[in-house]
Structure 1
Amino acid sequence: MSPTLRKSLIIAVIVIAAIVAIGWYLLQPNTAKYGDEELTGTDPLIAEIQEETIPSIGIMDPVGWDEGASPTPAEGLNVSRFAEGLTHPRSMLVLDNGDVLVAETNRQPGPPASFTDRVAGWLMGRAGAGVPSPDRIVLLRDTDNDGSADSQSVLLDGLKSPFGMAVRDGRLIVANTDAVLSFPFTPGDTTIARGQEWQLMALPGGGNHWARNLLLSPDGERLYVTVGSASNIGENGMAAEQGRAAIYEYDFTTQTSRQFASGMRNPMGLAFNPDSGELWTTVNERDMLGPDVPPDYLTNVPIGAQYGWPWIYWRFNYDERVETAIPQYLQEYTRWPEYALGAHVAPLGLVFANDGALGQPFTSGAFVARHGSWNRSPPAGYDVVFVPFDERGNPQDVPPVPVLTGFLGDDLETTHGRPTWLAWDNAGGLLVSDDTGGIIWRVTGTPAAASQEPADN
């Protein structure tokens, strides 16, 4: 080998080693410094940023559940399998007759728009979220009322990433990723024929946040619709975010819609607080500012509310990465969220306490499914928690109370499943969908021991 060739090989080896070393360094996750004690509550710590060029990777390998295994309920609660063998179950709707509708769904295929999108898509695949979308609504029926579905059938298929569902005036309303559709339906039906549906609203479809949730107002006259952002921080330009990062209100009487609230990167869960009548939502905040910032949140949503995305997070904090100029009015009108749920915990499902169905201490407040982090070390979320409210209908400044844990493996490198959506069944059980586990869990309170009269002597 000539000296020139030997020198060239040595240089090539050094360059390759340097590239590998730099890549290895960049892919090492930043380690979180704080936990729920600091990053949750009404006045959370807003940590210093650790800006990331490449997202920190904290994906848990999905290993599923062994036969007979289950998550761990809080003391005084029980958990059982309501249904299993489902394909990526996400949202749920419980009907008056007790039937449970489940959206088996995922994002639509499509070319990723950026390097970050490619990385995120690969990570979601590793986490068990890369399955093709089944695009259908499944009906689960518990015919003998034993707390376990004994009938499972496809109610409606051929949809496009369906998610939110509502029933009103003989119609099943379904939110596809790009439209809200209305189908003729009567509770008790086991199939829905296609061809008689109509469109209520067109929606901007797809994007990083493709799921569209629905909620009827208590009087049934209005429908609330969530639309998440297409990107992390508007990096593809704000024109691509037109009509997104918002909640809409549809009026059935006028058949018109309006933007109800905005500036929320990915609003997901929707529920009305039974004590105050306010609309509340869970919101997934932005990524790549470090493992501890910013916290995802639970908040009320007054009409016209603005939460700052993409320019501002948590009222006073500017995201300097956003290239589009900030609207001048935004700082004045941006609201402080009501309750922090932790950084990168990905809160999804939301329900309020159901007349104390699970007993103390779960009598006044909100239950939230924290789907779990994909870019944090150590991982966060992967549980169902309870946020206690005070007598005035506001969250208390305390960490959330664990309700259902054990989705993460003991090694913190694997996951049995991921809690996704929440719904109350008609018997007072809390249903929890587990999208990567393919299971609907049912959480109940421990039955009180029957009182006994003292025997006559």
Structure 2
Amino acid sequence: MAIYDVLARAVALVGAGAIRWRRLQGNVQRRPAVGGAPEIPLAQPQGRIPTLKMPTAQGWAAGQLPAAAPGLKVNAFAAGLKHPRWIQVLPNGDVTVAEALQQAGGAPRTLFDHAMVATMRRAAALGDSPNRITLLRDADGDGVAEQRHAFLENLNQPFGMALLGDTFYVGNTDGVVAFPYTAGATTITASPRRLSSFKPGGHWTRSLLPSADSQRLYVGVGSLSNIGEHGMRAEEGRACIYELDLRTGHCRVFAAGLRNPVGLAWEPVTGRLWTVVNERDGLGDETPPDYLTSVSDGGFYGWPYCYWGQTVDDRVPQDAALVARALTPDYALGGHTASLGLAWMPAGTLPGFDSDGMVIGQHGSWNRSTLSGYRVVFVPFANGRPAGAPRDILWGFLAPDESVSYGRPVGVAIGPDRRSLLVADDVGDVVWRVAAA
């Protein structure tokens, strides 16, 4: 057995003992912190060795599929990819998929660092990044892509994508780059034009969302660390959403205090920007919850000083002025669900989902006693706001005993036919298609 696996098992055993102790003390909450007014337990700091629990990545057996809500069916739109993370549907119906992976940084420095690296490798969450974007084409419209092309290669952990006119934009981990695009092209070989630069490392994904007038790009940039443990100077320019003006090249912080804002989407009734945010670890199963929120220009959302409004995190040196400014998110999604994907889904896109709302790809937890996420959910909206409990669209990515994961959903997008949903699965190496049964 490799030394990293031994270390991982040792830390997991310590964490399991801590979980049993907290259960005896009545401090593990069974009810998820979900909705606009969630019940969030008091923080239970887990110390230097927080709960470490992540299933082994197994992948899907032949013929095995995720479970879908009544009235829906699911099929592989494309299989045999390499860690597909994000999806972009082009105007001509082509689908581009960013294939990228978190890469190991410097040598682990602590026992927990070693165990975390081993655990992430076992869960297929760490390794050599493919660093490419693949183009998928379903020319006959049967719901399966029969063509596959290397659209862009030799990128740097690509994630977000956007096509505006004859320019294709990519969110690399170290900045936004642009490529010339010709309608119907299956490969781009031109050199990129750099538009902005970001610090790599930590939360490495860089999601992109164009403005309605196609003049700006909004870019999600996550923090370097969990709670600023390397100092706030190392976090400068991070944990925020940027606004990049494509005419002038000016890039400014649009909203801050967002630990890891990944998926971005427009809500069409109000025209407001929404995001899903992964909150901090080490305070308990449901504390604090990940969340879905509208984003205000100039808004501050608490990280790292506080969470869910102005609940202070005592582990962090405080800034009282910023705590006083912290806005409360709109909708809690449960603790450590790793909600990453986000897409607006109009009413009637899928049968049985008769209201407008947001679709969310929940990648799944590692820092809690009972795993959460590992599903695709729908949050209904009314009058521009969340209006009801989340509903499952797709699940079954996790074995019942939580020992293995068959897949982990990430990016979500409405399909080219506007009557289906595409889901990137970076453990199953599949893009799933969900449609009417």
TM-score interval, smaller chain: over 0.9
Q: Is the 8 A contact 2:362 2:375 kept in 1?
A: yes
Match of 1:149? 145
Asked if 1 retains the 8 angstrom alpha-carbon contact of 2:346 and 2:357, the reply is no
Counterpart for residue 122 of structure 1: 118
TM-score normalised to the size of structure 2? 0.92
- Measure how far apart 1:130 and its partner are: 1.9
* Paired position in structure 1 for 2:375: 383
Which residue of structure 2 lines up, in the alignment, with residue 175 of structure 1? 171
1:120 is paired with a residue whose SS is helix
2:424 is paired with a residue whose SS is strand
1:73 aligns with 2:64: no
**1:439 aligned onto 2:434:** no
CA contact (8 A) 2:347 2:357 kept: no
Shift of 1:67: 1.0
CA distance in 1, matches of 2:85, 2:42: 34
Q: Deviation above 6 Å: which 4+ runs of structure 1?
A: 20-23
Q: Of the two, which has the highest radius of gyration?
A: 1
Corresponding letter in the other structure for 2:282: M
Equivalent in 261, 272, 278 of residue 272 of structure 2: 278
CA drift of 1:29 comes to: 5.5
- The equivalent of 1:350 in structure 2 is 342
Give how far 1:28 is off: 3.5
- Aligned-residue offset at 1:336: 0.6
The alpha carbon displacement at 1:110 in A equals: 2.1
The answer on whether the counterparts of 1:27 and 1:55 sit within 8 Å (CA) in structure 2 is no
For 2:306, the equivalent position in structure 1 comes to: 312
Note closer, same or farther for the CA distance 1:295–1:142 as it changes in structure 2 (3 Å cut): same
Letter of the structure 1 residue corresponding to residue 413 of structure 2: A
Give, in whole Å, the separation in 2 of the partners of 1:125 and 1:174. 26
1:374 deviates by 1.0
Letter in 1 for 2:61: D
1:421 is matched with 411
Aligned with 1:158 (options 151, 154, 157):
154
- Equivalences for 1:26-425 in 2 at 5 Å? 26-28=15-17, 30=19, 33-35=28-30, 37-52=31-46, 53-112=48-107, 114-115=109-110, 116-195=112-191, 197-207=192-202, 209-323=203-317, 325-326=318-319, 328-390=320-382, 392-396=383-387, 398-425=388-415
116-125 or 330-339: bigger deviation: 116-125
Residue 77 of structure 2 aligns to a residue whose secondary structure is strand
* Structure 1 Cα separation of the partners of residues 175 and 67 of structure 2: 38
Letter aligned with residue 424 of structure 2: S
Instruction: Give me the whole-angstrom Cα distance separating, in 2, the residues matched to 1:133 and 1:286.
Output: 25
Return closer, same or farther for 1:185/1:47 CA change in 2, 3 Å cut-off.
same
Contact 1:263–1:307 (CA under 8 A) maintained in structure 2: yes
- Bigger drift between 52-61 and 148-157 goes to 52-61
Alpha-carbon deviation of 1:23?
Answer: 8.5
Percent identical among aligned pairs is: 46
Displacement of 1:21: 9.5
Structure 2, unpaired ranges of 5+: 1-8
Letter of the 2:90 counterpart: L
Name the aligned partner's letter for residue 243 of structure 2.
E
The number of residue pairs the alignment matches comes to 420
Q: 1:252-288 deviations in whole A, cap 9, x for unaligned?
A: 2222111000001000000001222110000000001
Measured at CA, do residues 223 and 103 of structure 1 come closer, stay the same or move farther in structure 2, by a change above 3 Å?
A: same
- How far does residue 98 in structure 1 lie from its aligned partner after superposition? 0.7
Q: Check conservation: 1:95, 1:187, Cα contact below 8 A.
A: no
C-alpha distance in structure 2 between counterparts of 1:80 and 1:26, whole Å: 38
Residue ranges of structure 1 left out of the alignment (5+ in a row): 1-19, 447-457
RMSD: 1.8
Post-superposition shift, 1:113?
A: 6.5
Q: Summarize deviations over 1:196-250 as a string: whole Å, max 9, x none.
A: x21111111112x011100001111110001100000000011110100000001
Deviation for aligned residue 1:366: 0.8
Look up the SS of the partner of 1:124 in the other structure: helix
| Cα distance in 2, alignment partners of residues 233 and 119 from structure 1 | 19
What are the Cα deviations for residues 347-375 of structure 1, in whole angstroms up to 9, with x where unaligned?
Answer: 00001113421133352111101110012
Distance 2:15 2:75 in 1: 42
Separation in structure 2 between the aligned mates of residue 187 and residue 86 of structure 1, nearest angstrom: 24
The amino acid that maps onto 2:68 is: P
- Whole-Å separation in 1 of the counterparts to 2:70 and 2:284: 34
The Cα of 1:68 is off from its aligned counterpart by: 1.2
* Change over 3 Å in CA distance of 1:389–1:84 after alignment to 2: same
User: Is the 8 Å Cα contact of residues 103 and 127 (structure 2) preserved in structure 1?
Assistant: no
CA contact (8 A) 2:361 2:376 kept: yes
After superposition, the Cα gap between the structure-2 partners of 1:129 and 1:24, relative to the gap in structure 1 and judged at 3 Å, is closer
SS of 1:387's equivalent in the other structure is: strand
Change (3 A) 1:109 1:60: closer
Helix, strand or coil at the partner of 1:154: strand
- Given that residues 261 and 306 in structure 1 are in contact (C-alpha distance below 8 angstroms), is that contact kept between their aligned partners in structure 2? yes
Work out the CA distance in 1 between the residues paired with 2:96 and 2:11: 48
SS in 2 for 1:332: helix
Distance in structure 2 (CA, Å) of the matches to 1:129 and 1:251: 33
